[in-house]
Amino acid sequence: MTLDLFDQINNAVLDLQSAQLQTYEKPLKKLAQLLQHTDLASFNDELTSDVNLESFIEESEQTGGSMVGSHRLAWPEETEKCLGLTWLLIQKFASDPDYASNFSLTFFYSGKKIITSIHTMVGQLIIPFARDYKLYVQSKGNIQTMLKAPLSRKVFIVHGHDDGAREAVARFLERIGLEAIILHEQANQGRTVIEKVEAHGNVGFAVVLLTPDDEGSIKGGKPEPRARQNVLLELGYFIGRLGRDKVCALKRGELEIPSDFAGVVWEQMDTNGGWKHSLARELEAAGHVIDWNKVMR
């Protein structure tokens, strides 16, 4: 599942706010990296084009006297210039974390413990910046789509005992430039099956192979071909995790379809390869770029 870029920025800020002196560098660098995301480049260029960080720091350092904690930041009147200067400050902090701690002691002094001053700086400078920066970017237009993280090229294959169907789908996905994730090919690392599914479930799409591997019926009824129970469990799991638009069920042969899945479209896995076109169409609708020259090759 894709994460909104601003959610990631907010998480980095929260991690920074709760960090200790030995650990604050990592979330600080992460925050600076996220703020340099290519989708934000035009906004950053606009905010920083007319500000001079060194002049701002020099002027601010002249505001204090001999008393510790008496320095004040010399903010300009314009809100956008304040955002630009803070953006540049965060980048400077990330490149030199020792400077960040000294800066916090100079302008956000909160006692002898360095981390206390860093936390104060985060609360008074970085948290308001993250809030106002998001509002600034959003005010420039609807950018919901471009602020999504790139769609994973990994595709999870849910399968039963039909090894031929599984391999055919895996090789097709690889041919069109995607990475097939097959559970039994992944290391166990002492985990249960469902733990392995969760660990490898961070994919962009799932293909579920409904093949007649088992038989079952209502009590006293006539047994009918069914997909294996693990397949049905994982079908529901990926619909819940990814959404129905990012799950494609391929049905091979005649078998009973779960009642809760009735009415949802699945694709017939035919013998002439038409399923490849259907699967590629679903992948494209989910956001993947498909080279159609490779689909039916």
What are the phi and psi torsion angles at 273 (to 5°)? 85, 5
The alpha carbon of 151 is separated from its chain's Cα centroid by a whole number of angstroms, namely 8
Q: Report the half-sphere exposure of 90 (CA within 13 A, side-chain side).
A: 30
**Does 284 share its domain with 168?**
yes
With a CB cutoff of 8 Å and minimum separation 6, the contacts of 108 are 117, 118, 120, 121, 124, 125
With a CB cutoff of 8 Å and minimum separation 6, the contacts of 166 are 157, 159, 182, 209
Record the pTM. Answer: 0.52
DSSP 31-78: HHHHHT-GGGHHHHHHHHTT--HHHHHHHHHTS--SSTT-------S-
**Does 128 share its domain with 167?**
no
Domain closes at, from 139, 163, 188: 139
**Does 207 share its domain with 79?**
no
**Does 134 share its domain with 161?**
no
Map tokens 């001079």 to a residue: 52
Beta-bridge partners for 117: none
Give the Cα separation of 188 and 201 in Å (integer): 14
Per-residue pLDDT of the chain (297 residues; tens, 9 = 90+): 234 788 889 999 999 999 999 999 999 999 999 999 988 999 999 999 999 999 999 999 998 776 767 899 999 999 999 999 999 999 999 999 999 999 999 999 988 789 999 999 999 999 999 999 999 998 886 554 444 556 889 999 999 999 999 999 999 999 999 999 999 888 888 888 888 988 888 899 999 999 998 887 778 888 888 888 899 899 989 988 888 889 999 988 887 777 666 555 678 888 788 899 999 999 999 888 898 888 876
- C-alpha distances out from residue 194 to 117, 198, 213, Å: 44, 6, 20
Domains held by the chain: number = 2
What torsion do the CA atoms of 170, 215, 222, 269 make, to the nearest 10 degrees?
A: 10
**Domain with 244 in it: what CATH number?**
3.40.50.10140
Q: Range of 32's domain?
A: 5-139
In a domain, 113, yes or no: yes
**Does 87 share its domain with 62?**
yes
What are the phi and psi torsion angles at 141 (to 5°)? 140, 175
**Does 134 share its domain with 159?**
no
In a domain, 144, yes or no: no
What are the phi and psi torsion angles at 37 (to 5°)? -55, 140
Tokens describing residue 269: 């896995």
Map tokens 């079908």 to a residue: 235
